[in-house]
Amino acid sequence: MGLLSGIHAPGDVKNVPVEQIDELAREIRDFLVDSVSRTGGHLGPNLGVVELSIALHRVFDSPIDSIVFDTGHQSYVHKLLTGRHDFSDLKKQGGISGYPCRAESEHDIVENSHASTSLSWAHGIARARKLKGEDRHTVAIIGDGALTGGMAWEALNNIAVDRELPLVIVINDNERSYAPTIGGLAEHLATLRTTRQYEQVLDWGKARLQQTPVVGNAMYQSLHGMKKGIKDVLSPQRGMFEDLGLKYVGPVDGHDEQAVEHALEKAKTYGGPCLVHVITQKGRGYAPAAEHEGDQWHGIGKFNPETGLPFEVSGRIWTDEFSDEMVRLGAQRDDIVAITAAMLIPVGLDQFAAKYPERVFDVGIAEQHAATMAAGLSFGGMHPVVAIYATFLNRAFDQLLMDCALHKQGVTFVLDRAGITGSDGPSHNGMWDMAICSIVPGLRLAAPRDGEQVKAQLREAVEVDDAPTVIRFPKGDVAEPLTAVRQNNGLDVLHDASAPHVLVVAVGSMCAAAISVAEKLEAQGHSTLVIDPRWVIPVNEAIVEQARSVGRVVVIEDNLVTHGVGVAVSHALRSAGVDVPVHTYGIPHRFLDHASRGQVLESIGLTPDVITTDVLARIASH
């Protein structure tokens, strides 16, 4: 860390001599590989933006100039250049976040880490600066697939007519998000990359000039005079960008720091919105990451930096259960199709895609389009399965409500990473999906307790053809199978009692904790019945009937406690005239800091010991 150790603020970056920039970039890459190998994290994206991040801080003056990162997982280099060198607890409790974080630094602005938002943020910031008469620049770095999101195009549509805003848009074009970026935009950017060919022609002319000055000079001058014509042939006028009225600079080699600086300086002085197209390589400088075509190096666990091999081999995860069952369903039903939003591999659709490529649609980072396209596929006679992270269902709520539910379309949403995810911080916890789904008329939601239930409930979901269905499960290793003691009107009884005083309603991944609570309560003399409703929205009438004969009801869920299954159960009991107290244990109504899943559960009291203590206190007080 020779040069890097002297970087404590953006001003220090500006003071690095030009001839030492390459050395600084090497140090940063070495630091990232070494640090992330110990903690895990988003390595590939950050190795690709080293020179770009250096150039940004040499050209602009953060925090006077606002730098907004889209897909904030590509901000590690930015953190280093703004003085944050302690990566020992990256994404861990008490350590630095894996995304921009306002609590960490005045240089961090947008920390939600949901893609395609940077242009809207930047437009608003730039407009505010203009209204206040401030001479400040705003820079948005968008890429890693984020320009496939519809919100980015809504912003571009408005930015294009705001002709005097000092706003610079940097497209970090690495051709990938988790996997290769798809769609018309990706193809257009690929076409624009061919504009570098005319530079190669000019470089050839320069070489001839050095070899044969007389002939070479005439040749070079002729080529240089043809420059605009060559550009017009090889690049269709930068297509939509310049047609929108946006100044376009590029494409630029994103690993030539001086070239990036020059492009940014040019954009900075333009006097209006300007788009800089920077071509980078994800995983640059570390062979295992640069050469791997899958998503392994996008976000990775601890690994051996010498070999690139992981230290820990992951066991079977929840996603694997869904993935395998989708392949089986695909073989049995040719109407089953799958949709993903730029996350084919993370959500487990890669096996289905390998088997049935014509029945998988990757729409890019466009959850709204995914949901409404699914409604259309359903209308056309297919049964679509939309697989996304639970946190990203937030972005498609209107489409779920108005396009799928209102029209009674048979669409199944499979929500991976539901509940507490932990280390990715507040924006990635899947803690809002059941609250959102609970207000959608006709929707049915299942929360499987183990892998066997993932498979069984997915099969049940795709049989529903007149309403949307939702299957949600958590991140990580799949839970050990929990066999029901018996079944009762659609309820699985997990812990039986002949004359129960307490009824525990266990939701999904919290079933094991619920059984532990029951055992602890019975040790204190309180007979307890534990049921898994399996389908938790809407409330099964059998729960209401069961509640008539107990003294109190306890609901345990990994969802917002204020808008979840517990609230729905309370309402169902009141509506049926069942007057028993209902105690709900879930996620509090606040954003949660990054930490491990276990640490978060401990911090919010969603553990068997804490729940049991509280239930016993409530029993004693009545």
pLDDT, tens digit (0-9, with 9 covering 90-100), for 468-513:
999 999 988 888 899 999 998 889 999 998 889 999 999 999 999 9
Q: Which residue has the tokens 């199944």?
A: 412
| 444-446 β-sheet, strand order | 360-362, 336-340, 383-389, 412-416, 469-472, 444-446, 535-537
CA angle 477, 483, 485 (to 5 degrees): 150
Cα separation of 114 and 67, whole Å? 16
Q: Which residue has the tokens 């990473």?
A: 417
Residue of 129, 367, 444, 552 with catalytic role: 367
40-44, 149-153, 166-170, 452-456, range with greatest mean pLDDT: 452-456
Q: Is the pLDDT of residue 250 over 60?
A: yes
Question: From the CB of residue 203, how many other CB atoms can be counted at a distance below 10 Å?
Answer: 11
Which has the minimum average pLDDT: 26-35, 195-204, 565-574? 195-204
Encode pLDDT of 147-169 as tens digits. Answer: 777 788 888 888 888 888 899 99
- Binding residue numbers for thiamine diphosphate: 73, 113-115, 145-146, 174, 286, 367
Which has the minimum average pLDDT: 59-63, 87-91, 309-313? 309-313
Where does the pLDDT of residue 231 fall: very low under 50, low under 70, confident under 90, or very high at 90 and above? very low
Q: Is the pLDDT of residue 302 over 80?
A: no
Q: Tokens in use for 414?
A: 């499979």
Q: Tokens in use for 428?
A: 């990635």
| Packing angle of the helix pair 50-59, 21-39 (nearest 10 deg) | 120
Give the domains, in start order, of the chain with CATH numbers: 4-180+245-291 (3.40.50.970), 318-472 (3.40.50.970), 489-620 (3.40.50.920)
What percentage of the chain carries pLDDT values higher than 90? Answer: 48
Instruction: Assess contact for 75 and 100: CB atoms under 8 A.
Output: yes
pLDDT for the residue 112 = 67
Q: Is the pLDDT of residue 301 over 70?
A: no
Residue of 92, 282, 417, 597 with catalytic role: 282
User: Is the model more confident about 21 or about 179?
Assistant: 21
Cα separation of 416 and 345, whole Å? 12
- Is 27 catalytic? The answer is no
Cα separation of 490 and 315, whole Å? 31
CA-CA-CA-CA torsion sign (22, 27, 30, 33): negative
pLDDT for the residue 283 = 78
- Binding residue numbers: 73, 113-115, 144-146, 174, 286, 367
pLDDT for the residue 195 = 47
Q: Is the pLDDT of residue 184 over 60?
A: no
Length of the chain: 622
Encode pLDDT of 203-221 as tens digits. Answer: 555 555 556 555 455 544 5
Q: Is the pLDDT of residue 28 over 50?
A: yes
Instruction: Assess contact for 160 and 244: CB atoms under 8 A.
Output: yes
Q: The pTM is what?
A: 0.78
- Is 26 catalytic? The answer is no
- Is 282 catalytic? The answer is yes
Cα separation of 123 and 249, whole Å? 19
pLDDT for the residue 327 = 97
pLDDT for the residue 113 = 67
pLDDT for the residue 173 = 85
Which has the minimum average pLDDT: 520-529, 535-544, 570-579, 596-605? 596-605
pLDDT for the residue 428 = 79
Instruction: Assess contact for 363 and 374: CB atoms under 8 A.
Output: no
pLDDT for the residue 177 = 43
Q: Using only C-alpha atoms, what is the Rg of the chain? A: 27
Tell me which DSSP letter residue 509 carries: G
25-39, 151-165, 371-385, 592-606, range with greatest mean pLDDT: 371-385
Q: Give the burial string for 204-243 (b: 16+ CB within 10 Å, else e).
A: ebeebbeeeeeebeebbeebeeeeeebeeebbeebebbee
Q: Tokens in use for 98?
A: 């894996």
46-60, 168-182, 301-315, range with greatest mean pLDDT: 46-60
Residue of 91, 284, 395, 475 with catalytic role: 395
pLDDT for the residue 213 = 55
Nearest Cα to 83, choosing from 96, 64, 70? 96
Please give the torsion angle defined by the CA atoms of residues 196, 197, 198 and 203, in that order, rounded to the nearest 10 degrees.
90
Mean pLDDT of the 273-299 span: 75
- Binding residue numbers for Mg(2+): 144, 174
How far apart are the two ends of the chain, measured CA to CA in Å? 63
Instruction: Assess contact for 323 and 300: CB atoms under 8 A.
Output: no
